[in-house]
Structure 1
Amino acid sequence: MALQMKFDIPARPALGRGDFYVTHSNAVALGLVDTWPNWPNGKLVLVGPSGSGKTHLAHVWCAESGGRMIAAQDIRTDDVPNLADGPICVEDVEDIAGNTDAEEALFHLHNLVLANCHSMLLTATRAPSAWPIQLPDLASRMSGTTVAKLATPDDILLSAVLAKLFADRQIVPMADVIPYLVRWMPRSFEAAGQVVAHLDTEALGTPKGVTRSLARTALAELEFREETASD
């Protein structure tokens, strides 16, 4: 028997526009992002669950607009003039709710970016109306921002996401693995990431790689399904 060597190769996410698979569940959001030169008031909030493609779409926008990307919690008031010198994407805005310094820094960045006639993209898991922002002026500015929503993935999109996640990890699963996962796993991008990461670990050194049997075991171990009968 040939020795199966284990190589823990890190995933390399592909974040180009050509890697962003479009279906009806994300087409509207993509369309809104694409109209960035004409956003009302120069800004847009991109909303979706964890792993829904927000960061991927943000990278696409930055590439097309020439913008930069920064996490909301990393903004410092002293950096605002430099950050506001072009289009900017601020990720995970809701994470700074209740952080006085971060809220004030974002408030000043928001105002200066728009005063400089640049565009601002913000990302979050929920719409601004659900953010517990404490700074009234920031809350009011966020509540007046157009929202683009990334919906729960349909079968086509979930299949494409799984294929991309496998490809990012340089894995070629057996042909029946992705259809099986789409049928039985939770319909979320976060779950897709967990499943593929788990399969990557479990398949290391196995002669057959990622098979349907291994996928079924992975779903059971992740408690993503209760069925134990053969399928």
Structure 2
Amino acid sequence: METPRHVPQLPLALRSPPDQRLETFVGAPDGAIALLDACASGGANDWVFVSGPTGAGKTHLLLGACARAMAAQRRPAYLSLTSAAGRLRDALQAFEGMDLVTLDDLDAIAGHRDDEVALFDFHNRARSQGANVVYTATARPDALSLVLPDLRSRLGQCIGVPLAPLDDDGRRDVLRQRAQRRGLGVDDAALDWLMRRVGRDLGSLTQLFDQLDRAALAAQRRLTVPFLRETLGREPDARPDS
């Protein structure tokens, strides 16, 4: 019998990024943060299904919920279903007895019957054990290419939290708050420069911003347009919005 391969998951207390907390999320629908906080801390028995396009912040919410559960002395777990596709039953065995289970990117196993059956079985066990589960996907359960009707039905019973991509003001707020939490000075002109010339995808922006943060700290500089041009080596060509 083949030994199950290791499935990457969140080493709970240590690797939940400090920027990815429920209270730092920008642009959540009304009531969504309170709902996830209650689920994570044990204040509610609700199950949640977060849907939205890539870059809308779904993983941020899951990691934030895990951090909140840890603060409430509960046992959380995070799993990217992309990492576990094709062997989900083995992966989910490690989550038995957890208080909060967050499962990211349900799209990765949609259409794979064995994985869907494994998730259906896990869903029922976790419900009977009183655990909280939060799912994410790019679309609502009724719009996913699931082949197991019973799984679609179970997921449809979760409370839906739809996310929309942030507009430019929201992206600026995310970057500005990151700078403030780090004690880093940033000019509005620098944020505009990044968004015009590097792109508006929030995941790419925050990743690059973290690199610039380290460079600015080492140089004891503010994030200004001249510093960006100097650090990036050249001024990138403007990219169209996606």
* Length-normalised TM-score, structure 1: 0.69
CA contact (8 A) 2:66 2:77 kept: yes
What RMSD, in angstroms, separates the aligned Cα atoms of the two structures? 3.9
> Partner residue of 1:143?
156
1:128 aligns with: 141
Deviations 1:167-208 (A, max 9, x none): 8999755452114445787654245347647978999x9998
Deviation by residue 1:112-164 (Cα, 9 ceiling, x = unmatched): 11011111000122222221011222122122322112222244431132246
With over 3 angstroms needed to count, the CA separation of the structure-2 counterparts of 1:84 and 1:183, relative to structure 1, is same
The corresponding residue for 1:48 is 52
User: Is the contact between residue 109 and residue 116 of structure 2 (CA under 8 Å) also seen in structure 1?
Assistant: yes
| Cross-structure match for 2:44 | 38
Q: Is the 8 A contact 1:51 1:193 kept in 2?
A: no
What is the aligned counterpart of 2:103 among 90, 94, 97?
A: 90
Q: Which moved more, 1:48-57 or 1:157-166?
A: 157-166
Query: Of the two structures, which has the highest relative contact order with CA contacts closer than 8 Å and spacing of 6 or more?
Result: 1
Q: Which runs of 5+ in 1 are unaligned?
A: 1-11, 227-231
- Gaps (5+ residues) in structure 2? 1-15
Distance 2:202 2:19 in 1: 15
Matches within 5 A, 1:50-199: 50-65=54-69, 66=74, 67-73=76-82, 74=84, 76-86=88-98, 87-163=100-176, 173-181=186-194, 188-190=201-203, 192-193=205-206, 196=209
Is the Cα–Cα contact under 8 Å of residues 20 and 57 in structure 1 kept in the other structure?
no
For the 8 Å contact 1:152–1:188, the answer to whether it is kept is no
Structure 2 partner of 1:8: none
Larger Rg: 1
**What SS class does the counterpart of residue 83 from structure 1 fall into?**
coil
Secondary structure in 2 matching 1:157 = helix
Which residue matches 2:28? 26
Structure 1 contact 93–122 (Cα < 8 Å) conserved: yes
Contact 2:197/2:238, CA 8 A, preserved across alignment:
no
Q: Judge conservation of contact 1:71–1:90 (CA < 8 Å) in 2.
A: yes
Checking the alignment, whether the CA contact within 8 Å between 1:52 and 1:188 is kept in structure 2 is: no
Counterparts of 1:193-212 in structure 2, within 5 Å, are 193=206, 196=209, 211-212=224-225
Q: TM-score, normalized by length of structure 2?
A: 0.66
